[in-house]
Structure 1
Amino acid sequence: MKNSHPYIHEYQSAVTNYMEYLNVIAKHLTSEEGITGIPLDFHIVPCLLSKAPPPLHIYTSPPDKPQTPVLAFVFCGKFLPPSFFHRPVAVCIRAWPICQERGQCCLFNGLAIFTVNDTYTLRICYMDYIIYARIVCCSENEKVYNFIWLFQEVRRKLKKSLKDFVHLSSSVFEECIQCPGMKVSLHNEWLFIVKQFKYKNAIACPVCNPNSVTRSNAMKHWFKERLDRIETDDE
């Protein structure tokens, strides 16, 4: 706001609060803040961040680490303005500390990594009209399945941030799971619409050929509660 019109400075607090409400800017949550509740005295503007250094997969698919399958929000009409991605990033900035990896703060334009607990990190990025999310464990011996409740919480927060922004029905985007057999996430490859598994127990996948992606493998991390309901109805 340094070079803004004088009346902007006069109403700085109101302008800042409104921009926070719109998720255009966000205050950074640190580990210490999570304990004390004291906010930092600066804001982050996601749309002004620099691009992540290549290759992207070292951030999104770190090797030899327990991790969830990739959750994808695929926008209908193949249209996703960058501002749609900046909103969930702003929500995450307020919810979790930004992760430090390879000697740098992992907050970039189009990619962000957050520390969601002592051993798990959330990695979100977007390309074209798809927003991707994956949770990775820093401990090689950790059982990813032990934190199913955490994955549900993260997914709901991301989905809500998108729905709150578009103010439309869920048909604006589809929730998809990328083939769990893919070790490195590839853009727009082998994405399965989650709601299809309500009626199908398995779907063929070229990556898993000659096998298929089962309902359980596709849904047991990000959609465990929904999976339990479907399987109960099938009994």
Structure 2
Amino acid sequence: MLKEKTPERIMFPEPDHEMKNSSSVLCYHFMEKFLPSPIFHRLLATCVSRWRIAKRQSENQIFCGCCIFNLDLHHELTVLFREYVIFVQVIRFGTTAMTPSSNLCIEVKEFITKTLTNIIGNLGHSLKFEISIQCPKFVGYRVDCLIPLTDLQGNEDVPCHFHDDTHVIRSQDVLRFWFKEKVSHNKYVSLELL
């Protein structure tokens, strides 16, 4: 029913190179390189029942494949779908603490992971997804700049080869928003067993 495409300002936001006011981009990468759009739409419907849709100049920020939610007075959540990846990012607005709340990011991750697992299980699908983090050097949302959680776990830094010049990503810098100190060692989340 949503026909309006996601605006460029959301797809390719202004860069926040130091990640001061935004979390890293958490990605649910579906292993079969296929994700039926009804699964994403059910996820959005569940998110709408939990969080209020953000507004810009009285316009609801919900589009075909994307929605922005108000988590609280200072935090917004972007949930975006491209091809076979669901992207999740939290942004903090304010003049005091600029970094998004890790507790809030973890709460979002746990809610979305549980919701996706339930939706896929209830529909009888056997889809599997891998949790990844998008390279923070890329501004916007791309399906080909994803670093699997398993590569980031237990490694202090990970080389990123998605750009013309290889650079190194400090694991702690991108994982600190979404995970407590100890990160799960499961590579894939299997939805067949749930």
TM over 0.5: yes
Higher helix share: 1
Question: What's 1:204 paired with?
Answer: 159
**Structure with the bigger percentage of strand:** 2
Is the counterpart of residue 142 in structure 1 residue 97 in structure 2?
A: yes
- 2:85 equivalent in structure 1: 130
Give the match's secondary structure for 1:164.
helix
In the TM superposition, residue 54 of structure 1 has moved relative to its aligned partner by: 3.2
Partner residue of 1:219 out of 157, 171, 175: 175
TM-score, normalised to structure 2, is 0.80
Q: Which residue of 1 is the match for residue 7 of structure 2?
A: 54
2:136 counterpart letter in structure 1: P
Indicate the percent of aligned positions where both proteins have the same amino acid.
Answer: 25
How many angstroms does 1:186 deviate by?
3.6
Contact 1:68/1:136 (CA < 8 Å) preserved in 2? Answer: yes
Question: Equivalents in 2 of 1:224, 1:111: separation in Å?
Answer: 27
> What residue is the counterpart of 2:107 in the other structure?
153
Q: Determine the structure 1 residue equivalent to 2:35.
A: 80
In structure 1, stretches of 5+ residues that fail to align are 1-47, 231-235
SS at match of 2:24: coil
In the alignment, structure 1 residue 101 sits paired with structure 2 residue 56: yes
Indicate the SS of the match to 2:29. Answer: strand
SS of 2:169's equivalent in the other structure is: strand
1:129 is displaced (CA, Å) by: 0.5
Residues 78, 210 of structure 1: alpha-carbon distance in 2 compared, 3 angstrom cutoff: closer
8 Å Cα contact 1:125-1:131 kept in structure 2:
yes
Which of structures 1 and 2 has the larger relative contact order (alpha carbons within 8 angstroms, sep 6+)? 2
The corresponding residue for 1:177 is: 133
**How far did 1:141 drift?**
4.8
Structure (1 or 2) with the larger CA radius of gyration: 1
- Asked if the contact 1:112–1:124 (Cα under 8 Å) also holds between the matched residues in 2, the reply is yes
In structure 2, runs of 5+ residues without a counterpart are 186-194
2:46 is equivalent to residue 91 of structure 1: yes
Taking only aligned residues, the RMSD between alpha carbons, in angstroms, comes to 2.6
3-state secondary structure, aligned to 1:221 = coil
In the superposition, relative to structure 1, how do residues 72 and 208 fare at CA in structure 2: closer, same or farther (>3 Å)?
farther
1:119 equivalenced with 2:119 (yes/no): no
Shift of 1:190: 2.0
SS in 2 for 1:226: coil
Do the aligned residues in 2 keep the contact of 1:119 with 1:139 (CA within 8 Å)?
Answer: yes
Measured after TM superposition, the shift of residue 140 of structure 1 is 5.4
Residue identity matched to 1:172: K
What one-letter code is carried by the residue in structure 2 that aligns with 1:173?
A: F
Inter-partner Cα distance in structure 2 for 1:124 and 1:84: 13
Q: Which residue number corresponds to residue 191 of structure 2?
A: none
| Alignment counterpart, residue 190 of structure 1, candidates 145, 154, 159 | 145
* Structure 1 match to 2:190: none
CA-CA distance at 1:79 after TM superposition: 0.5
What is the rounded CA distance, in whole Å, between the counterparts of 1:143 and 1:117 in structure 2? 14
One-letter amino acid matched to 1:85: F
